[in-house]
A = this chain, B = another copy of it.
Amino acid sequence: MKFFDDIAIGERFELGRHTFSADAIKAFARSFDPQTFHLDEAAAARSHFGALCASGWHTASVWMRLMVDYQRREDAALRARGEPVATLGPSPGFRELKWLKPVYVGDTISYATEVLETRTSNSRPEWGIMTIRNTGVNQKGEPVISFVSVAFVERRKGGGPA
């Protein structure tokens, strides 16, 4: 993670993409969302979704995975350039999560994050607070998920950009 001081409002991060297989959709559903339209092709065809599709919690959890992988690549790149790496604090939660379209078998979702707002913490001046909008868009360009989250990001010692 880069430091809070180096993050600009409007900045956009492409986190990566993920293709949802029938096996992965069913495995998630068996554990966490065993509704028939996430488990069985024939039942899903008869449902309002029309075909097997991923649990919304699966679509959201894949965002988390790609975010972790993205940060690791970023941290490795910073270290390779001999630059310090900032700590990302725990997330207090998020808001306005919308499942906009179903995610069907074979859909490839591209996840991205955009910085909406940044502010420093009054109570903890070593941290900045970043509000981000996270989105997933399918291969047709249709948004399938959107949510807004808040994250604590470490500030440079002494503050100010590098």
Contacts and interface: CB of A to CB of B under 8 A. Distances in A.
Interface of A: 31-35, 48-49, 55-57, 60-62, 64-65, 68, 89-99, 147
Contact of A68 (B35, B61, B91): B35
| Assembly stoichiometry (copies) | 2
A97 B98 contact: no
Contact of A61 (B49, B57, B94): B57
The secondary-structure label for the interface of chain A is: mixed
A91 B62 CA distance: 19
A48 B95 CA distance: 24
Contact of A99 (B57, B62, B92): B92
Contact of A96 (B61, B93, B98): B93
Given A32-B61, A57-B61, A98 B93 contact: yes
A97 B99 contact: no
A94 B65 CA distance: 20
Given A56-B91, A57-B57, A60-B57, A31 B99 contact: no
A94 B97 contact: yes
Contacts of A96: 93, 95
10 contacts: A31-B65, A32-B61, A32-B64, A33-B65, A34-B65, A57-B57, A57-B60, A61-B61, A93-B97, A95-B97
B68 A34 contact: yes
